[in-house]
Every structure is written in C-alpha cells, then in structure tokens.
C-alpha cells in the first residue's frame, strides 16, 4: 500500500499526537482522515463552482421567489 512520509518538528508532532488523542484516534488514522476529507472538500467545492452558473442560468426566468 502506498505511503506518505511527512517530516515534523518535535513540537509539531507533539501537537498532532495530542490532537489525535483528544479525538480518540491514532495519529495515523486522524492524518489519513484529514487528508481524505480535505481532498474531498476541494473536489466538492470545485464541482459546486462549476454547477452554480449552470443552475443560475437554468432558473434565470423563474419568478423571483423560486430562484
């Protein structure tokens, strides 16, 4: 399985480990979840930015309260 290596200072790693522990997760699980969530959010926002102009065009002639 592919892996990602990230270098942290001791202070950064300590903060990351503490945060994961507060969430009740291992650092590895929290890091994986964070990376996946961030990538998914970016894909969603990109799709939404593309869809909004199309949606606005589709309803441009609708009555004011229905736009």
pTM as predicted: 0.68
DSSP E strands, 1-67:
none
Q: What is the dihedral of CA 37, 39, 41, 45, to 10 degrees?
A: 180
pLDDT at 67: 67
Angle at 35 between CA 31 and CA 40, to 5 degrees: 145
Interhelix angle 27-58/10-22, nearest 10 degrees: 80
> Where are the domains positioned within the chain?
10-66
23 versus 56: which is more confidently predicted? 23
- Per-residue pLDDT tens digits for 6-39: 999 999 999 999 999 999 999 999 999 999 999 9
């Amino acid at each position: 399985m592919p892996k990602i290596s990230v270098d942290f200072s001791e202070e950064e790693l300590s903060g990351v480990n503490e945060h994961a522990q507060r969430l009740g997760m291992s650092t590895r699980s929290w890091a994986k979840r964070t990376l996946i969530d961030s990538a998914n959010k970016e894909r969603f926002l990109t799709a939404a930015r593309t869809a909004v102009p199309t949606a606005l065009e589709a309803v441009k002639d609708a009555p004011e309260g229905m736009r």
